[in-house]
Structures are given as structure tokens and as C-alpha cells.
Structure 1
Amino acid sequence: MDRAFEGLEQTYPIVDDILIAGRTIAERDVRLRQSLQRARERIMLKPETTLPCQQEVKFFSEVLTTDGMKPDPEKVKAVHDMEVQTSKKESEGYLGQTDQKPLEVVFKKPLHAVPLRLQRMRMRLQIYDADVQFTPGKDVPVGDMLSNHFKDTPNNVDLSLDADIQSYVHMVVSNLPVTDKKLGEIAKATSGDEQLVAVKKCITFGWSEVIQDCTTFQEFWTSGMS
């Protein structure tokens, strides 16, 4: 994009967005015609996404207006909505001085051994070759405050990973070295085994941290918590 519009005055392409500015309508129109001519030679534009003659426009986390530039309210809403800290501990948390070292261990475990509440995060990150390393908060120049102090997502926003999880499960099941008939027999036998039904429930909803709660299947408890 930068090369396609290189040399055109007051024309600012970023990724797949283009901002064309002018101090007057006539000046803006000249820039627009030049940009359209250049695009005709190299770029395909979508008329339905074009916003001509705007006095105010959002452009990469900023709102550009006739009075100057200001942050996009949607991008800073999480900061505005934060609760006021009331203690030293809370203030340290806002500065990013929190202990996230357990995550380093979590990423070294196989997916089935990770607590259910963290499995979705692991699922989303499986497409990356990630190496998680812990850095103490005191050594982080800019604390990642929003990762520790965030507002709950509205109920009407669906952030579920059901489709991703189902795809992963399908991939695993489809590659099992057993026939569909044998897999059905295993599932039927499992559903009729009281001990395995209890283990399945723990795998689905999380393992108890107290072994005494798992008296009927204690031999599985160590593997489930590892």
C-alpha cells in the first residue's frame, strides 16, 4: 500500500485503509482524484467502504477531527471503566507487579492436564509456536495492567471457542487408530462404568484439589492434577 500511493501528498495508507486529507474541499478533491487514479492502476477499492467528505473519522485507534486528534473512545473505554484502587496491593497490580509465573508451568503441560479454565486459552494459542517465559513485575518497564484488571464481557458478545474445540476434538477422534464400531463400543462401555463416568465428569468440570473428594477413583487423581 505504501508503494502504491508513494509520492501523493496528504494521502496516508495504513494496511488496507487510506486516509486522504485536505485543508479545503478543493484541495481534498485534488488529492482524492490523484489517489483514485493511482488506485485504478494498482489497487482494487470497495465503494461501499468509502467515507467521503468527513469532518470526523476513526483511523487506527485515533479520531481525527477538525479540532485535532483524540483517542478513539472505544479503545480507552476499559481504562475509563477501571475501578479506583484502594490499597497498596491493588496499586501494584495496576502497575503490572503481579505474579504470573504459574502460567509458565501451565504451558509446559499437555492440554488435557491443564485446568479447564485455562484450556481455552491454550486452545487459541495452539496455532503458534509460543515459548512462555516469566519476567518479574519489577523488571517490566510498562506493566500490562489491562490483562489483570479487565471488565467482564457483555453477555451479548460471544467469545466462546466451541467451534475451535469441536474442530480439535474432531481432528483427534478422526485420527484415532480404532474403527468407528470399536469407538462406539468403548463409549458405551465407558458410560456404563461408574468409575469412568466420575473421571469424565472431573475432566469436563475440573479436578478437585483434595484427593479425599475422589475416593472412588483416587488412582486417576495424580494424573489428572499433574
Structure 2
Amino acid sequence: MEKALAGSKAECRLEHNGRIYHLTVNPVESDNSGFGAVVFIVDITERELSDKMRREFSANVSHELKTPLTSIMGYAEIISNGIAQKGDIPHFAGMIHTESARLLTLIEDIIKLSQLDEEGQLQDRFEKIELSEVCRNVADELASKAKSLGITLSCSCQKAEINGFKPVIHEMIYNLCDNAIIYNKKGGKADITLENTEKGIVLTVSDNGIGIPPEHQSRVFERFYRV
């Protein structure tokens, strides 16, 4: 304000009560009797949070993409330089294939996210879905994996019909259940429940595994955020 009253424009960033503001103060000359000031205050909280999430998203995606690429380059270099023993080459080739598949999955996930960001991109492909059938299919698909890891996977689902894009709904439930199995403990359990309540349809995937630390729980819906 002092700077504006002296005849110069001033800008600053202010945080107050959890909000972020951008202040611009412009000097206004008043009939040769000095300067007044006009203050513009803009709430930029959403923009700042969006920029922060974009930066973190880019950093997380870069890390996720670099990890399999580093492995692929490492194994390929060992083979191309003739360092690998003949008996190890099939193993290294298998690891290259595995990491390549992982990289392809990540790229496909990024493409899907960009499609979901485009409003109306999937709405014209919505259909009626019997959600209990999707849940049971996911349970069947993951039954072998759960058994191999010593996890009891159960599915208790009431009939419930929704409108949606079936491949995305299936993948969402699959990923939740897959995580409930992977991040569990031997002898643990993972449960899929689907209920019709007064407030609507409630789908729950629960487990008694390692859980998510409280300080990370508010960020679980951020793209590619990893605890």
C-alpha cells in the first residue's frame, strides 16, 4: 500500500484462513494532491491447487515411466554388450517383456485419464450395468491371485443397476480389489460388498491389510499418487 501511495504499482500473494489471494494495488493520482490507491483482490486458491496437482502429477508420471524404462535399458544393455551368460538371456528377455507390458499399461492409463477429462467423451457410451455381476466377475478373476497370496476374497453383493461405462467401472473395482489383495498380509482377507441403502447404492472394498497412513488418506484420489 505504501508503494502505491508513493505512485508505484504493487503486487503480492496473501494466504488467509486456508485461502490464497493475489493482491494488486494501483496508484491513482488525485488532482495533484497526492496519490490514492485501488486494490484488486482475486481468490486464486483453486488455481494454485490445480497448478500444484499438475506439477505433482507430472513428477509422479515421470517417475512411474522412468522406473520400467530404466530396467528395460539395463537388461538390454547387458545383453547387447555380451556381458550376460547364455543361460541368463531368457530371464533378462522375460524381464524386458514384463517391464515393457508395465510401461504399456501406464501409457494406456494416461490416455484413459485424458479421455475422462474430456467432458462427454464417454457419456454417449453409457449403458445399464448390473453392478453385482461386475463385482462377482472381478472376484472370480482375482480368486487365483488371492489364494496364491494366502488372502481370503469374499463377495457379498445385492442386485444393483447403474448407468455407466462398463470397462471403466470394471477396472475401477478390479484395481480396488487388486490393491486390497496385494497390500495385505498372509492370512488376511478382502471383502467386496454391494448394498442398496436409503441413500443409494453403496459399494465397499475392505481389507485388514497394512492400510493407508492417515497423513496420506486425503491424497488417495490424486492421479498416480503413491504412498
Name the TM-score class by shorter chain: under 0.3
TM-score under structure 2 length normalisation: 0.21
TM-score (structure 1 length as normaliser): 0.21
Q: Which has the higher strand share?
A: 2
